[in-house]
Amino acid sequence: MPIQIARACVPYTPFKRKLEESRIALVTTSGVYVDGTEPFTDNDLSFRMIPSETSSKTLKVVGGHYDSSSAEADINCVFPIDRLNQLKSDGTIGAVSEHHLSMGLTTALRKLKEETSWEIADKVASLHPHAVILTGG
């Protein structure tokens, strides 16, 4: 019997804070990593913390599970780090999280749901963001 993650309850909390007073974090499943660090491998359930001051020019993406040509041309289409820093600079948002989180792509959905997702949730919560932008690959 295939696992049915889509039926899992996803809580909804209305966002009531002003954006200009909010700290925002990025979380992606598009396989973004910092050049010079270990790239994600096939069915890799690990994740990488990416410092917010990381230049988008040093970010890479592991291809193979989706057409990554757009991400290779402009990483901001899957990991909008430049756009987020721009929103901070112009005062649209209050702050950018100290780190962002990226994970690779996997078909090990049961382990992702039962184990890794909880680790990721704990790590994101430790960053104390007021909002998280989620992107996929």
Q: Cβ contacts of residue 38 below 8 Å, gap of 6+?
A: none
Render pLDDT for 100-130 as a digit per residue (tens, 0 to 9).
Answer: 999 988 888 899 989 999 999 999 999 999 9
Distance separating alpha carbons of residues 93 and 61, to the nearest angstrom: 26
- Whether 7 and 114 have beta carbons less than 8 Å apart is answered as no
Structure confidence at residue 7 (pLDDT): 56
Tally of residues, the chain: 137
Structure tokens at 10: 């996803």
Which residue in this structure is represented by tokens 């899957």? 78
Of the candidates 53, 59, 106, 54, the residue with the CA atom closest to the CA atom of residue 78:
59
- Widest CA span of the chain, in angstroms? 50
Question: The whole model's pTM is what?
Answer: 0.87
Distance separating alpha carbons of residues 53 and 74, to the nearest angstrom: 17
Distance separating alpha carbons of residues 54 and 81, to the nearest angstrom: 8
Mean pLDDT confidence for 56-83: 92
Banded model confidence at residue 12, pLDDT cuts 50, 70, 90: confident
